[in-house]
Structure 1
């Protein structure tokens, strides 16, 4: 288990670097990577294999988004970062959602 870090106290650059070693938000809940405000054009850029059967969000295996590449808490990245859903764009390192997800994984 990694030592607890006060993510909210980090600089933007430090938080972004930490984010690339985290990935907790992408493995927190199968209900979280949902579509909300995306345009039809934006949704069309997401690979069909990564869209849920309901077409309401990203496809997940258990709680993990299929776009997540790497190991949570070690090295992680979004495989479709440029085309990720709006809810993923809204999640910021150190915000409440980030901290809740990190706690789930003991980070």
Structure 2
């Protein structure tokens, strides 16, 4: 899943007003293709106890800031896991997460 877009710059990305993919499931923000160097860049406080993915509070990634469906950002955007980079606005995963939150699908 793509983490919500970085709020430090203005963009037309729907991710900045969404964040649903980052609050869909505690199993979703998992690590898969990252090497040790990439994982070492993610602050430890955002990594789960098993070191298998991002730490979540319920279904919400602990690195997600803001209100889902209103305004969001990812506090580790530059070093987010691959799974966050592969979800694109309007793809199947995005639409599934948006449905869970009652947001209109983009795809």
TM-score grouping bracket, smaller chain normalisation: 0.7 to 0.9
1:80 aligns with 2:90: no
Higher helix share: 1
Mapping 1:7-18, distance limit 5 Å? 14=12, 16=13, 18=14
Cα separation, 1, equivalents of 2:72 and 2:87: 15
4+ residue runs of structure 1 moved beyond 6 angstroms? Answer: none
Number of residue pairs matched by the alignment: 93
**1:19 Cα deviation after fit:** 1.1
Mapping 1:1-107, distance limit 5 Å? 14=12, 16=13, 18-107=14-103
Offset from partner CA, 1:41-93 (integer Å, 9 cap, x none): 11000000100001000000000000001000000011100000000000000
Max radius of gyration: which structure?
1
What is the root-mean-square deviation of aligned Cα atoms in Å? 0.9
TM-score normalised by the chain length of structure 1:
0.85
TM-score normalised by the chain length of structure 2:
0.85
